Every structure is written in C-alpha cells, then in structure tokens.
Amino acid sequence: MDNIYWNEQLIRKYDLQGPRYTSYPTAMEFQPGFSHQDVFDAASVSRLTAKPLSLYFHIPFCARLCYYCACNKIVTKRREQAQPYLDQLYREMVLQAALFSKDQDGNSRLVEQLHWGGGTPTFLSPDQMRELMTRTRELFRLLPDDQGDYSIEIDPREADDETLTVLREIGFNRISLGVQDFDPKVQKAVNRVQSEELTLHVLTKARELGFRSINIDLIYGLPFQTESTFARTVDKIIQFSPDRLSVFNYAHMPNRFKPQRRIDGATLPTPQQKLSILRNSVDQLIRHDYRFIGMDHFAKPDDELAIAQSEGHLHRNFQGYTTRGNCDLIAMGVSSISMLDRAYYQNVYDIPGYSDILSQGKLPVQRGVMLNDDDVLRREIIMELICNFKLSFKMIEDRYNISFKEYFKPELAQLKDMEEDGLVQFGTENGEELVRIHPAGRLLIRGICKVFDRYRVEQTQSFSRII
C-alpha cells in the first residue's frame, strides 16, 4: 500500500466537520418513533437471511472519570451497582435471543463476533464476567475460540493478572487497551494517571495468556501535548509492538460533554500544533511498517484488518473497522446500537428507563431508522470508500440497476474538483471505471465520503473535525 501523502494546504482546505461513518445513515438520523413492531419486522428479515451474528454488550460503569470522555457511562466506586444492571441485561438477552438466535427454520445462528464495551467492562468482578459469558453461551451459539472474534475494552488500571486470566478462560482472544498518553502532565490534566510499567505489564501478561491480538488507543489534542512529548509516547508504544493502534483526535466540545468542562481550553494544543502532532505520529508508525487502515486506525501488515483491506473486503460498523461485515449486529445494554441490513436502533440511555421497559417484557428501544433503497445504495458506496479506498462504478450498477453517472451526477462533479486537488483519481481497472483515493486523500476520507451523504446536504449538524 502507498504511504499517506501529507499536504497541509489540502488538509486545511478539507478539514471540516463530518461524521465518522460507523454507519450510514448516521445516528443523527435516528428517530424516536421507532417501534417494537419495527424491531420485530427487522428481526423477521434477519432470521430469513440467516446471517451470522455479532454481539455487543455495553457495560457503562467506570471507577474513575476521564475528563476527555464522551461515552455513555456511570462513574462510581460502588461495585455493587453492577449486579442489578446485569440482572436487567440478562432479561434483555432473553428477549433478543428469542428474536435472533435461530433462523426461520429453527437452526441456531453462529455468533462470529462478540465485544464488551463501556464504560469499563472490567469494572465487573471475575465471577460476574464468568456469569455474563455463561449466560451468553446458553442463549447463543458462539464459534470456537480459534475461529471467533471475541474482544473487550480494557482500562489497565482495572485489569490485574486474575482479570486477564479469567477473560482468556471465558473465551476472549482480543483486547483493546486504553493508554491515550504516557506524559505525566497530560495524564494529570485529564485525570487518567496510568504508568508505563502498568500498561506494559498488562500487555505482556495478555501475550503470555495467548490473546491473539492487542490494540492500543491513543488520543492527540489533549492538554499540554506537544509534538515532542507525544512522539515519545508513540515511540514507547511502538516498542510494545501492538498488533493495532488507534490514534484518535480529541474533540473538545464542553457544551455537549460535561466532563470536558474540567479541561482548561487554554492548555490545549493549537490547530497547527495538532497537525504537527498527527503528522509526526503518522510518520513514526509508517516508518515502523504499520499500515494506515483508515481515519485513525493502523495495523501491522499481517493483521486481519490489513489483509482484509488489501483483499478489498474490509468493513465498518458501530464497533469500527472489522472483518466481520457479513454479520447482523445485535447490541445489548443501555445506549447500545443494533445494526441490521435495513434497520438500526438504539436502546434507552439511562438505567432506570432501561429497567422500566424491560419490566414490561419489551425491548428497551428508544429510537432508530429504517433504511430505504437510496440509503442502502449510498451506504455501500461510503463503506467501499472508507474501508477499501476505491469504488467500482460497474459493481454498484450491477447490484442496484442504476446508471452511476446519471444517479450521482452532482456527486461526481464534486469528486472532479477533488481530483484536481489530488485527493482522488478517476480511472479504470480490469476494464471497469472506478474512483480511487489517492494517498493525499486518505487522511481526509471522511470528507470524501461526505460527498455521497444525502443527509449532510439537506441538514447542518455539529460533528467533530475530520482531523
């Protein structure tokens, strides 16, 4: 794969606001009128297709507050709050399994992917983690350990040797470690004090236990970060040699996310400093043979994500980039989002509301969207671009029985302007017309995808900046 080409002038021109496209339509298009009947209808179609499943469980508890965080969470030291929540989660699991665990002929559908997110999933005790996985296996048919993709988000401060041992015993084979930054001044400013030694110990123990893939999360744009201090963090992470890295852009939006009000805006790096930090980080990772997967994700060449992208079948969903795009995503827990072929829907945000609806024997759905034909068409285009950096016109025409150039005449005109700037290139491959994302356009892929986003043309909403 070509390296990323850094052009600061183009970055300044196209670094506007835009969605992250973990779905299309995005969650901004979800409507409160999504009914239980809509869920049942979508589930009927899902059973008919008999697709494999991906399961997501949201564990909202955190023992400590990270000031940069924009997740749906409950910060508490009271570990006893977890069990009542799990009891409600088990009720939802029964309802979801009744709808999705079997196909229309009564055959069990395989679960190829499973993920625990949060919050901090390791807030749970070892016994609670065992019980949650046991209940899951009772209700759903999981692939064997060496075939499934079973991952969990870990705060190293909440994961001792026993925790990691239990996670491996119950079937997890991938972990994602939150690091953000090793600099002590930055850590103190965002209330995320976490030593290098602790992180290295967790990573080393995970490898000893046989976790087959380790991801590390970093964030650039935090208080007191400079190009040199963040470069030291990236260098240390490279020495750890994780399989994947995520280098996220911190979006400071204190009006939307209350914890961020504890961050002094005057201590944040300037936009120019952020660009320098990002450029340096990208250069460091590329030099050490990490491949740029897209937006803020990097992976080693032999990682499944890099291989899938090189073969043209990488996918993206609410959990990020994935090799399991053939699955229906069934999400459980507060605020979690399920993703079926023609329906997306989200659970209520708060535990009292979640529990109240479940007590009525109903799924705790708060809002959602049913996709129309145009949504499905544009979703495939956006996902091809954001995952595989190219798009065949003929592939779309054959699948959707349209004339690409007629249907997307205004969009192609915008792409022609981007071609003049060197972000994309029109051409042919094996005799088929296509558009390919140039190295200069890869960091700006969200802006290129936005060209095909009908809702962004019709509406104006506040998103984080692309870079």
Closest by CA to 251, choosing from 240, 239, 265, 272, is: 265
What pLDDT does residue 1 have? Answer: 41
How far apart, in whole angstroms, are the C-alpha atoms of residue 7 and residue 440? 7
CA-based torsion, 114, 120, 126, 127: positive or negative: negative
Q: Outline which parts of the chain fall under CATH 3.30.750.200.
A: 26-332
Q: Outline which parts of the chain fall under CATH 1.10.10.920.
A: 1-19+372-456
Q: pTM score > 0.85 for this model?
A: yes
The phi and psi torsions of 20 (rounded to 5 degrees) equal -90, -10
How far apart, in whole angstroms, are the C-alpha atoms of residue 45 and residue 38? 11
What pLDDT does residue 465 have? Answer: 59
Widest CA span in the chain: 63
What pLDDT does residue 391 have? Answer: 95
Other Cβ atoms less than 10 A from the Cβ of 177: the count is 21
**Chain centre distance of CA 150:** 15
In terms of DSSP H, where are the helices of 110-169? 126-139, 161-169
Q: Does the 1-19+372-456 domain belong in CATH 1.10.10.920?
A: yes
Per-residue confidence of the chain (467 residues) as pLDDT tens digits?
A: 456 777 778 887 776 667 889 899 999 999 998 988 999 999 999 999 999 999 999 999 999 999 999 888 999 999 999 999 999 999 999 999 999 999 999 999 999 999 999 999 999 999 999 999 999 999 999 999 889 999 999 999 999 999 999 999 999 999 999 999 999 999 999 999 999 999 999 999 999 999 999 999 999 999 999 999 999 999 999 999 999 999 999 989 999 899 999 999 999 999 889 989 999 999 999 999 999 998 889 999 999 999 999 998 899 988 889 988 889 999 999 999 999 999 999 999 999 999 999 999 999 999 999 999 999 999 999 999 999 999 999 999 999 999 999 999 999 999 999 999 999 999 998 889 999 999 889 888 988 999 999 998 654 455 555 56
In terms of DSSP H, where are the helices of 170-216? 184-189, 196-209
Under CATH, what is the fold of the domain 26-332?
Transcription Regulator spoIIAA (3.30.750)
What pLDDT does residue 457 have? Answer: 64
How far apart, in whole angstroms, are the C-alpha atoms of residue 83 and residue 130? 13
Per-residue buried b or exposed e for 93-121, using 16+ beta carbons within 10 Å of the residue's own CB: bebbbebbbbeeeeeebbbbbbbbbbbbb
β-sheet bridge partners, residue 101? none
How far apart, in whole angstroms, are the C-alpha atoms of residue 59 and residue 294? 27
What pLDDT does residue 284 have? Answer: 96
